[in-house]
Chains A and B, each alone.
Chain A
Amino acid sequence: MDPIKAFADWLTYSVFGLDSSTHAGQALDFFIYDTIKIFILLAAMIFLVSYARTYITPEKARKWLGNRKGIQYNFLASLVGVVTPFCSCSSVPIFIGFVGAGVPLGITFSFLITSPMVNEAAIAVLGGSVGWLATGLYVLSGILIGTFGGYFIGKLKLEDEVEDFVYNAQIGDVAQEDLVPKQRADFAWGEAKIIVKKVWPYIIIGVGVGALFHGYAPEGIMAQYAGVDNPLAVPAAVGLGVPLYSNVMGLIPIAESLIGKGLPVGTALAFLMSVTALSLPELIILKKVLSTKLIMIFVTIVTIGIIITGYMFNWIL
Chain B
Amino acid sequence: MKIEILGTGCKNCNKLAENVVKAVFLSGREDIEIVKVEDMMEIVKYGVMRTPALVIDGTVKVTGRLPDIKEIKDMIAN
Q: Decide if B64 touches A171 in the complex (CB within 8 Å).
A: no
Q: Which one, B10, B47, B61, B62, contacts A97 given CB within 8 A?
A: B47
Encoded as 1 (CB less than 8 Å from any A CB) or 0, chain B from 35 to 78 comes to 00000110111111111000000011111111000000000000
Report chain A residues within 8 Å CB of B14: none
Encoded as 1 (CB less than 8 Å from any B CB) or 0, chain A from 56 to 96 comes to 01110010000000000000000000000000011011101
Q: Judge if A250 is at the interface, Cβ distance under 8 Å.
A: no
Q: How far is the CB of B45 from chain A (nearest CB, A)?
A: 5
Q: Decide if A93 touches B48 in the complex (CB within 8 Å).
A: yes
The size of the chain B interface, using a CB distance under 8 A, is: 21
Q: How far is the CB of B48 from chain A (nearest CB, A)?
A: 6
Report chain A residues within 8 Å CB of B66: 190
Encoded as 1 (CB less than 8 Å from any B CB) or 0, chain A from 138 to 171 comes to 0000000000000000000000000001000111
Q: Is the interface of A mostly helix, strand, loop or mixed?
A: helix
Question: Measured between alpha carbons, how far is A90 from B66 in the docked complex, in Å?
Answer: 16
Report chain A residues within 8 Å CB of B49: 58-59, 62, 90, 93-94, 97-98
Encoded as 1 (CB less than 8 Å from any B CB) or 0, chain A from 171 to 185 comes to 111110100000000
Q: Decide if A174 touches B8 in the complex (CB within 8 Å).
A: no
Report chain A residues within 8 Å CB of B64: 57
Q: Decide if A174 touches B63 in the complex (CB within 8 Å).
A: yes
The size of the chain A interface, using a CB distance under 8 A, is: 25
Q: How far is the CB of A196 from chain B (nearest CB, A)?
A: 15
Question: Measured between alpha carbons, how far is A169 from B48 in the docked complex, in Å?
Answer: 12
Q: Decide if A187 touches B65 in the complex (CB within 8 Å).
A: yes
Q: Decide if B51 touches A177 in the complex (CB within 8 Å).
A: no
Encoded as 1 (CB less than 8 Å from any B CB) or 0, chain A from 181 to 216 comes to 000000100100000000000000000000000000
Number of A-B contacts (CB under 8 A): 61
Q: How far is the CB of A60 from chain B (nearest CB, A)?
A: 11
Q: Judge if A128 is at the interface, Cβ distance under 8 Å.
A: no
Question: Measured between alpha carbons, how far is A62 from B49 in the docked complex, in Å?
Answer: 10
Q: Which one, B44, B51, B62, contacts A171 given CB within 8 A?
A: B44
Q: Judge if A116 is at the interface, Cβ distance under 8 Å.
A: no
Tell me whether A96 and B48 are in contact in the complex, defined as CB-CB below 8 angstroms, given that A59-B63, A175-B59 are known contacts: no
Q: Decide if A171 touches B47 in the complex (CB within 8 Å).
A: yes
Q: Which one, A62, A100, A165, A174, contacts B46 given CB within 8 A?
A: A174
Q: Decide if A172 touches B51 in the complex (CB within 8 Å).
A: no
Q: How far is the CB of B53 from chain A (nearest CB, A)?
A: 9
Report chain B residues within 8 Å CB of A96: 40-41, 44
Some 30 contacts from A to B, beta carbons below 8 A apart, are A57-B50, A57-B63, A58-B49, A58-B50, A59-B47, A59-B49, A89-B8, A90-B49, A90-B51, A92-B40, A93-B8, A93-B40, A93-B48, A93-B49, A97-B49, A98-B49, A169-B41, A169-B45, A170-B45, A171-B44, A172-B45, A172-B47, A172-B48, A174-B63, A175-B60, A177-B61, A177-B62, A187-B65, A190-B65, A190-B66
